[in-house]
Copies of this chain bind each other. A is one copy, B any other.
């Protein structure tokens, strides 16, 4: 059973290919009876236009390239979902390529996407320098999510991480905590750097001196949350609160505390970052800084389509907002 083409329909309805194409795209009026005949033939033969051929002819593939960092981070997964959802019924389909948080792979992934003649690009996170990106994606509509690029010639959708880190830390301070540990994210990761910056800022503002013993390295994993608490405890540095680089790390922190018989929030308070789905069901529910991943993804694909249509990119800043739940209690200074 070979695929039926526009020609078959044309034959069946005794018209030309061109006319069939016209009703398919209603690009110009067609006499009602012919239109009927064509529609009927399409129905009867179950004709589906070949998107590939159409792409070639129009020079638009109706396809969006999505660069992911395929590492099983719930936050990035949520963004991907938002991107897919945002494309919804638009006729565009997302095609994925994985950057694996490695520059080489990332460049290859982007090139593969471009080779497929995608009409636009959504870059989720990523690591390659702005100039290289610039060159790679020249004159291809591109939106970057969860990453802030210096030049505002790029179209970025992100939340303010320093602000988020600041809010998280200030919340702890306002609750009477002064010995606040932080478990950082991957050292060179911009988000990690920004959240740390916010932490320092809140501390400074409150006149609390930064104690290097309270800043622990991490990598956004739960394991790093565990190690951080273990290190802290073994070194005997006291602390009454922990700001974790993200929720995943917070879970690790919570587990380590549990292991040591420390109660949350009576003995130690925790605040996380992201508000991933599981955060609300930690025991106790995790107070965290919410990043609206799904919205970010949907906004990215939506903006991209507008960009493709020649509309300007509207940069609507997204809020990283503190969600107060139950993992923060009153500290000694309260």
Contact = CB atoms under 8 A, between A and B. Distances in A.
A27 to B, nearest CB: 19
Interface string A282-297: 1111000000001000
A55 interface: yes
Interface in A68-87: 68, 70, 72, 74, 77-78, 81, 84-85
A111 B91 CA distance: 12
Nearest to A82: B70
Nearest to A53: B56
Interface centre among A1, A81, A284 (most CB of B within 10 A): A81
Contacts of A283: 254-255, 257-258, 283
A114 interface: yes
A138 to B, nearest CB: 8
Given A52-B55, A72-B78, A278-B278, A112 B95 contact: no
A207 interface: no
A49 interface: yes
B222 A251 contact: no
A39 interface: no
Given A93-B95, A93-B96, A117-B52, A285 B85 contact: no
A51 B117 contact: yes
Nearest to A293: B72
Interface residues of A, number: 54
Taken together, the copies of this chain in the complex come to 2
A270 to B, nearest CB: 11
A319 B94 CA distance: 32
Contact of A49 (B63, B77, B93, B115): B115
A282 to B, nearest CB: 7
Contact of A282 (B114, B116, B255): B255
Contacts of A78: 72
Interface in A1-59: 1, 48-53, 55-56
5 residue pairs, one from A and one from B, having the closest CB atoms: A258-B283, A251-B281, A222-B281, A77-B77, A95-B95
Given A72-B77, A225-B281, 18 more contacts: A1-B139, A52-B56, A52-B116, A63-B95, A68-B84, A70-B84, A74-B74, A74-B277, A84-B98, A85-B98, A93-B96, A93-B97, A93-B116, A251-B278, A252-B281, A255-B281, A255-B282, A278-B278
6 contacts: A50-B56, A68-B84, A70-B85, A72-B294, A74-B77, A251-B281
